[in-house]
Structure formats: C-alpha cells, structure tokens
C-alpha cells in the first residue's frame, strides 16, 4: 500500500491517507487472485457484514444478465411481459434493457439532500426510513413501482434512479420463479464459494431491496469482484458466463451518459447496473452512497473492495480522492509485475 497519487484537485495523497480522508470502514485489494492488502477501521471487522447500498445494484444487474444468457429473459421484451401489473405505470411502455441500463424516462427524482425528493418515498417503501404519521404514500416496494409516472422518453439518456433496479429485481423474480435471495445464492454466492452468509434488507412484506439492501463481508465483496475480473471464473468453476462479463466491460453509449453530468467520470457509461469508466485500463465499478465501492481493473488484474461511512451520500465527495488512488496503485502493481 505504498503508492502515492494526486487527487483531482492536485493534492498528493498516500493510499493510507486516502482511506482516512474518505471514511473507509474497510478496504481490500486483490491482485492476480491474491489478497495483497486488507485493512479495517472503526466498527468493521473481517467476519462482520456491512451494507453495500447501491453496490447491490451490480449484483441485480449481473443476475439479470445471467438470466438473459440462459434465455429466461428477453432484453428487448416489454417490462410488462414479466410484470404485467406495471402496465399503467411509467414502466408500462419500457423495455427490459432500458430498465437495466437506466435509460427510462421517469418523473422520479433521487437527491438525498432534498427531503422532498422521491428517493425518500422509496426509502419509506423499502423499510429503510420510518413511515411518518398520516403518510398516504406506498408502504412497500411493489406498490411504489406501480405508482411511478413517466416523464420524457425511454431509451434517450441515462438517469440514475433506483426504482429501475427494483423493477429489474421483479423481472428476475418472475423469470426465475425464485426470490432474489435464493437466486443470488444459487447463481453466484454458493458457486463462488463465499466465506460468509450475506443478507438483504427487506420491506414490510418481505421483498428484498434489489437496489440497495445487500450486506456482505468485505472479503466476499472482493471475491465477487475477482470473479468478474477473472471473466466470471472463480473457485474452480465458471460462475458468471464470460459473455456476460465481456458485455459489461464493453459498457454502453457514453453519449447517453454524458448529459447526467458526472464530472468525476468523464467518458463513462452505465451497463447492466455497473459503472464503466472507459479509462485507459477499462476499469468498471459497483458504487453505493456513503462510499461503498467495488473497483475492477482488468488491465492491472486488480480489484479494490471498499466499505465506508462517508458523511456525504454522493460519490462526487470521494471520487476525486479514491479514483486517482486506485489508478496509481494499479500502475504500481503493473510496474512491479
């Protein structure tokens, strides 16, 4: 962990200082399949779970892509082919791939700092926030999805909205005939030989939060990252089809991503619930609020798994420090062989 980087605002930064400045609870680095760095800070310990927030989305997206590869989901099909109850909602005329890549046109807003933003309705529905007295909104995830209104056109531009992932999770449930928990256990968690159990946060009627509710240990998050880094092969078996990983690595159209204004991810795209950097190493990421992350660098054969408790929700608060640190470490590992 002796690499030094320069932050996006021009400050020199050691890897250790990066962890401290960005409120890391734990960080693990895997290089060529070996765990080369693992540190815990604060409350997190090696065998304790930590909530992944929206890192959860990349698990949901990968499961959906696996079901597509198995022929159980048609990405071009209307969402209503799998979830007909959504026909009168914003998703009534959306296609599966638009939900998967978050290019739906929705009125829904996701601004954590605005208490009137729709993300708080979602958090009340999924059980992450308390329901106020006299509340008339949805009190479970499915009811909330059925109430979503359309704004603009589907398929035109990327807009990051968690309700898309919750719809995708329902498509996965219907196509597989399994709960999201059983599907993750069956397709990824057990085959990759996870060391510990993981768990989902559920709403009041037992529906998993596919957009933000998965808790895992740091090591198991790193295992999943290494599975993806190694073209889906881990624990002596092909866990995720190599074609699924290759499609995620290729990413989507940066022109659809650009208007969303993610200044720390220039030239990026969003594919199957993963953030694709299109940087010189072809790195891609799972990302969650308050600093959760899984960074996969195929060129350097490096994976960084990180859990954190950043006081600021949005990743714009830690990207200027973390992303240069990951690239500097990748380059050092490549130079050292």
Q: Which of 297, 298, 215 is nearest to 322 (CA)?
A: 297
The beta strands (E) that lie in the chain are given as 4-6, 12-14, 24-31, 34-40, 50-51, 199-200, 214-216, 233-234, 237-238, 269-271, 274-276, 284-288, 292-297, 302-308
- Spatial distance between the Cα atoms of 188 and 61, rounded to a whole number of angstroms: 12
- Residue whose structure tokens are 């909104």: 137
209 is catalytic: no
Dump the DSSP string for 97-149: HHHHTT---BS----TT-TTSHHHHHHHHTTSSPPPTT--S-SSHHHHHHT--
Whole-angstrom Cα distance, residue 275 to residue 270?
Answer: 5
**Two structure tokens written together for 310:** 């950043």
Distance CA 176, CA 180 (A): 9
Q: Which of 325, 330, 327, 335 is nearest to 11 (CA)?
A: 325
Residue 257, Ramachandran bin (φ over 0: left; ψ between -120 and 50: alpha; else beta): alpha
Rounded to an integer, what distance in angstroms lies between the CA atom of residue 103 and that of residue 174? 22
Active-site hit among 5, 54, 58, 176: 54
Residue with tokens 């760095």: 37
- DSSP 8-state symbol, 186: I
CA distance 327 to 221: 20
Cα–Cα distance for residue pair 201/211, rounded to 1 Å: 10
Q: What are phi and psi of 58, to 5 degrees?
A: -70, -30
Residues assigned a catalytic role: 54
């Amino acid at each position: 962990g002796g690499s030094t980087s320069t932050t996006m605002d021009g400050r020199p930064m050691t890897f250790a200082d990066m962890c401290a400045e960005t409120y890391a609870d734990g960080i693990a680095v895997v290089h060529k399949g070996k765990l080369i760095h693992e540190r815990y800070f604060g409350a997190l310990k090696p065998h304790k779970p930590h909530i992944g927030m929206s890192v959860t989305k990349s698990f949901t997206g990968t499961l959906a892509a696996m079901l597509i590869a198995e022929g159980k989901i048609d990405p071009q099909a209307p969402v209503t082919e799998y979830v007909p109850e959504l026909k009168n909602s914003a998703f009534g005329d959306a296609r599966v791939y638009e939900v998967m890549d978050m290019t739906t046109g929705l009125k829904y807003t996701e601004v954590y700092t605005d208490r009137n933003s729709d993300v708080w309705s979602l958090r009340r529905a999924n059980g992450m926030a308390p329901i106020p007295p006299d509340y008339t909104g949805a009190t479970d995830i499915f009811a909330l999805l059925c109430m979503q209104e359309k704004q603009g056109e589907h398929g035109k531009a990327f807009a990051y909205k968690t309700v898309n992932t919750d719809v995708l999770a329902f498509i996965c449930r219907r196509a597989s005939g399994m709960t999201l928990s059983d599907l993750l256990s069956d397709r990824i968690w057990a085959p990759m030989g996870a060391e510990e159990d993981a768990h989902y946060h559920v709403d009041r009627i037992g529906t998993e939060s596919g957009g933000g509710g998965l808790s895992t240990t740091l090591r198991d998050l790193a295992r999943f990252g290494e599975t993806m880094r190694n073209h889906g092969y881990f624990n002596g078996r092909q866990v995720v089809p190599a074609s699924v990983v290759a499609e995620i690595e290729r990413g989507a159209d940066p022109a659809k991503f650009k208007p969303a204004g993610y200044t720390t991810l220039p030239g990026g795209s969003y594919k199957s619930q993963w953030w694709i950097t299109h940087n010189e190493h072809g790195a891609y990421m799972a990302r969650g609020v308050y600093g959760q992350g899984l960074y996969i660098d195929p060129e350097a054969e490096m994976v960084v798994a990180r859990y954190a408790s950043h006081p600021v929700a949005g990743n714009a608060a830690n990207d200027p420090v973390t992303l240069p640190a990951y690239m500097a470490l990748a380059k050092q590992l490549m130079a050292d062989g």
